């Protein structure tokens, strides 16, 4: 969730007409693209906000580890 919110808040993704996507549309696109279901995304966002940022989340930690491993390969 933290990654998705950061991408949304950075305004990196825009609608075809160069307008800002609604949060609802953004999460619908993510669910379609990643073939996942985010039930009650409002509640999930609130839970993500209440997490301590230094603790992170399992998925963010996994992404950091994957990128660190990739960087160590020197490809």
Residue 11 has pLDDT above 90, yes or no: no
Q: What is the DSSP string of 53-71?
A: TTT--HHHHHHHHHHHHHH
Predicted confidence at residue 33, as pLDDT, reads 92
Domains of the chain, residue spans: 2-73
pLDDT tens for residues 15-39? 888 777 888 888 888 889 989 888 7
Predicted confidence at residue 4, as pLDDT, reads 82
pLDDT tens for residues 39-63? 787 787 787 777 666 666 777 788 7
């Amino acid at each position: 969730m933290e990654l998705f919110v950061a991408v949304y808040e950075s305004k990196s993704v825009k609608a075809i007409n160069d307008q800002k996507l609604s949060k609802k549309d953004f999460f619908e696109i993510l669910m379609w693209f990643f073939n996942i279901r985010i039930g009650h995304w409002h509640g999930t966002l609130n839970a993500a906000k209440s997490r301590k940022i230094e603790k992170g989340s399992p998925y963010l930690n996994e992404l950091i580890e994957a990128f660190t491993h990739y960087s160590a390969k020197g490809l």
